[in-house]
């Protein structure tokens, strides 16, 4: 089996999807413009999808109040500093910027809706080419 997507209940799925498309180069793979406003966004590989929706049977978690280690979207980057600055100019806020002993650089941000984003430049990449 292969993992198709991870789904997350958010306050503004259309706006959040547009922000990730604009600032991460993701694309909208499928969407529904009626409630619950389902937005499937994918990365450039066509292999990783995130489903964003606003589903009223349960409340949207207060992501901004959650520790980012409970839930975050992690993106590979070649230039963490430039991407951090670019995303902060687009409304993201910095949570933490660290470098591990092995040289791995991890930058934790929050998007304008409080969702945690991690920028990763790993000493030993984990994704296959």
Residues 67 and 120 in one domain: yes
Is the residue at 80 inside a domain? yes
Provide the pLDDT for residue 107. Answer: 98
pLDDT beyond 90 at 126: no
Q: Which helix (H) or strand (E) holds 18?
A: helix 13-24
Residues 19 and 70 in one domain: no
pLDDT beyond 80 at 128: no
Q: How far apart are CA 117 and CA 50, in angstroms?
A: 13
**CATH number where 44 lies:** 3.10.180.10
Domain around 91 = 61-124
Is the residue at 129 inside a domain? no
Structure tokens given for 120: 């990763």
Provide the pLDDT for residue 112. Answer: 98
Mean pLDDT over the full length of the chain: 95
One DSSP character per residue, 50-98 reads EEEE--TTSPPP-GGGS-TTTS-EEEE-S-HHHHHHHHHHTT-EEEEEE
Is the residue at 89 inside a domain? yes
Number of independent structural domains in the chain: 2
Residues 84 and 43 in one domain: no
Q: How far apart are CA 26 and CA 61, in angstroms?
A: 23
For the whole model, what pTM was predicted?
Answer: 0.93
* Domain boundary residue, one of 42, 57, 72: 57
Provide the pLDDT for residue 127. Answer: 83
Biggest CA-to-CA distance, the chain = 48
* Domain boundary residue, one of 28, 57, 86: 57
58-112 pLDDT tens trace? 789 999 999 999 999 999 999 999 999 999 999 999 999 999 999 999 999 999 9
């Amino acid at each position: 089996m292969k993992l198709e997507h991870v789904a997350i209940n958010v306050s503004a799925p259309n706006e959040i999807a547009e922000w990730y498309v604009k600032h991460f180069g993701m694309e909208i793979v499928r969407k529904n413009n009626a409630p619950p406003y389902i937005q499937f966004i994918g990365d450039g590989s066509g292999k990783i999808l995130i489903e964003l929706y606003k589903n009223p049977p349960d409340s949207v978690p207060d992501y901004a109040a959650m520790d980012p280690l409970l839930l975050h979207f992690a993106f590979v980057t070649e230039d963490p500093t430039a991407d951090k600055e670019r995303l902060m100019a687009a409304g993201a806020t910095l949570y933490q910027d660290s470098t591990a002993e092995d040289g791995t650089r991890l930058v934790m941000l929050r998007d304008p809706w409080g969702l945690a984003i991690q920028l990763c430049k790993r000493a030993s990449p984990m994704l296959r080419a």
